[in-house]
Structure 1
Amino acid sequence: MTSNGTNGTIGEMVKMLCDPMCSTPKQSQQTCCTVKCWKWDVTQITMNKLIHDIKYGILILNRPITQNYGFMNNLWNRASIRMTVDGGTRQWDKYISAFPKEMQNTMKDPDLISGDFDSITDEILEKYKKKGCKVIHTPDQDRTDFTKALIELNVHRKQIGVELSHIIAIAQTSGRFDQIIANVQTLFLVKEELLLDANTNVFIISDDSISWLLLPGDHVIYIPEETRLHKRAWCSLVPVGDTCQHVTTTGLKWNLDNQQLRFGGIVSTSNTFDGSEKVTVKCSHSLIWSMRLPMISIL
């Protein structure tokens, strides 16, 4: 639903699009404008339908892990780089320890563990050191553990010579509100400070939802059938940092038509789908897109 702020792959940059009205070389030089267009297909995450040998990284932040075992087993083990972040190591250890031994043994160990280590016990840290995990101390207090982890993951990526299509952070949007906002800030820093390769996108998975940053331009988001047909499906477009002066969508129950999104004005939360296989978004400024993924939930 579109509201006044109270109620509320993956990412392939396809091409540079020119105004289709430009019919002559001379006219094209005068009126042609470039528009970035991305295609997003999250089934590569949710259903592990990796194509063209796509490689990705995964990291666990310091929040309880609530996704079902089958989903996490495939997502974790098929990653090119696996990482736990500070107290996320404790959360990961708790999560896999809850399963029978034979299931625990199918999970690979983290490649990297990073953080300032204020949220992890010496016992857990030593346990994973003995397993051969690389431990990186990142004491800098000017950045969050999430941001520092992405920097270290990128260093490791270069060292082993792998290109990553995307990085998935398992991080619940619950608990401390300031930490939730800090995670959103990290999504912006990835692009603003070029923390990763320009073609690497970052996704946050929380409970049964996924969120990522839509940069200015045109976006085509393919909606999994389980999502768009679910009776409690939801999605949202939230402006963060700047007013998004112009947003136009298709495929939503409550579409936007060249509308402004801003806090204090209109914010598109608790929206849902019209049944179409894809949603299109044309935005003048960055937005956070979120939607439900019921197939990854335990319940």
Structure 2
Amino acid sequence: MSSHHIVRDDQEPALIIANGASCSYELLGQLLEWSPIVVVLDSAIERVIQLDIKVDVLLGDFDRGFDPEVYKARQFPMEVVRTPDQNKTDLEKAFDYLIEKGHQAVNVVWATGKRADHTITNITNIVRYRDKLKIVILDDHSKVFLLPNKFEKWYTAGTPISLIPIGTVEGIRTQNLFYPLNDESLHIGYRTGSSNHVAEDGIVNISHTKGDLLLMECLD
């Protein structure tokens, strides 16, 4: 699974490999095929190397005696990016790195499942990058991304979809969901839009007027 970089004009999303639960070989291979750059967080590098993946950037604070230099020869040419700032997670630092390099979109794998605190933080923190980077977090069971104020996409009937508010989201309207919302509000911890699904084959429309709303496409 070493190859990637089959890219058209560098428009395809970058790929970040974090250090949560592994995804399937099939999903990882699909994402690698079209990624112009692969960024690996420091704590995941041994697992990634075992999969024979070409790494472009190794990023992290490299604490606990971690020596990134030992991987350079095995992954040449690989950039080592030291990010000692303890006020951000390594995943957020990877987002910052890609923004600085001019990337507009990124897929993230291995960011869920291993620890609940890391999973919640990784998913909810993407809202701060709303106007800077299009972020999609994927695993074998779900695909999560932040919605714009107006969103539409074609889905097959029965596709499980959850709408997860970060804080309070107001003025939500939906079309072609089995449980419709008509100018309603969702509030994390009190009322969310989980376990909805697409009513019929066709376009799903979702809009909201205020707040940060995540969409989770689920694979049951």
Q: TM-score, normalised by structure 2?
A: 0.83
In structure 2, the residue matched to 1:177 is 116
Q: 1:271 to 1:119 in 2, by over 3 A?
A: farther
Alignment of 1:45-64 (within 5 A): 54-64=11-21
Shift in Å at residue 293 of structure 1? 4.5
Q: 1:118 to 1:55 in 2, by over 3 A?
A: same
Please list every run of 5 or more consecutive structure 2 residues that lacks an aligned counterpart in the other structure: 1-6
Alignment partners' CA distance in 1, 2:175 and 2:22: 33
Q: Which moved more, 1:51-60 or 1:262-271?
A: 51-60
In structure 2, the residue matched to 1:240 is 166
Question: Could you list the per-position Cα deviations for residues 251-270 of structure 1 after superposition, in whole angstroms to 9, with x for gaps in the alignment?
Answer: 21111111111135421111
Question: Could you list the per-position Cα deviations for residues 43-99 of structure 1 after superposition, in whole angstroms to 9, with x for gaps in the alignment?
Answer: xxxxxxx98873220110011322233x322321321111111222233224x1xxx
Alignment partners' CA distance in 2, 1:269 and 1:120: 42
Q: 1:278 to 1:88 in 2, by over 3 A?
A: farther
- Give the structure with higher Rg (CA): 1
In structure 1, the residue matched to 2:42 is 86
1:142 and 2:87 matched: yes
Q: Is the 8 A contact 2:111 2:122 kept in 1?
A: no
Please list every run of 5 or more consecutive structure 1 residues that lacks an aligned counterpart in the other structure: 1-49, 97-103, 159-163, 295-299
In structure 1, the residue matched to 2:71 is 127
Alignment partners' CA distance in 1, 2:91 and 2:31: 19
Q: Is the 8 A contact 2:123 2:137 kept in 1?
A: no
Q: Is the 8 A contact 1:210 1:291 kept in 2?
A: yes
Q: Is the 8 A contact 2:38 2:57 kept in 1?
A: yes
Cα RMSD, aligned residues only: 2.6
1:273 and 2:198 matched: yes
Letter aligned with residue 169 of structure 1: V
Alignment of 1:1-299 (within 5 A): 54-69=11-26, 71-94=27-50, 96=51, 104=52, 107=53, 109-118=54-63, 122=67, 126-132=70-76, 133-155=78-100, 157-158=101-102, 164-191=103-130, 196=132, 200-215=133-148, 217-223=149-155, 225=156, 228=157, 233-241=159-167, 243-284=168-209, 285-293=211-219
Q: Is the 8 A contact 1:86 1:118 kept in 2?
A: no
Alignment partners' CA distance in 2, 1:171 and 1:179: 11
Shift in Å at residue 118 of structure 1? 3.9
Letter aligned with residue 126 of structure 1: V
Q: How many residues are paired up? A: 212
Q: Secondary structure at the match of 2:201?
A: coil
Q: Secondary structure at the match of 1:64?
A: coil
Shift in Å at residue 165 of structure 1? 4.4
**1 or 2 for the larger relative contact order (CA 8 Å, sep ≥6)?**
1
- Report percent identity of matched pairs: 22
Q: Secondary structure at the match of 1:258?
A: strand
Alignment partners' CA distance in 1, 2:61 and 2:31: 26
Question: Could you list the per-position Cα deviations for residues 116-158 of structure 1 after superposition, in whole angstroms to 9, with x for gaps in the alignment?
Answer: 1248954x76134542211111111000000101112233x34
Letter aligned with residue 59 of structure 1: I
Alignment partners' CA distance in 2, 1:222 and 1:120: 49
Alignment partners' CA distance in 2, 1:268 and 1:203: 19
Letter aligned with residue 286 of structure 1: D
Q: 1:148 to 1:276 in 2, by over 3 A?
A: same
Q: Secondary structure at the match of 2:113?
A: coil
Greater helix fraction, Structure 1 or Structure 2? 1
Q: Is the 8 A contact 2:21 2:111 kept in 1?
A: yes
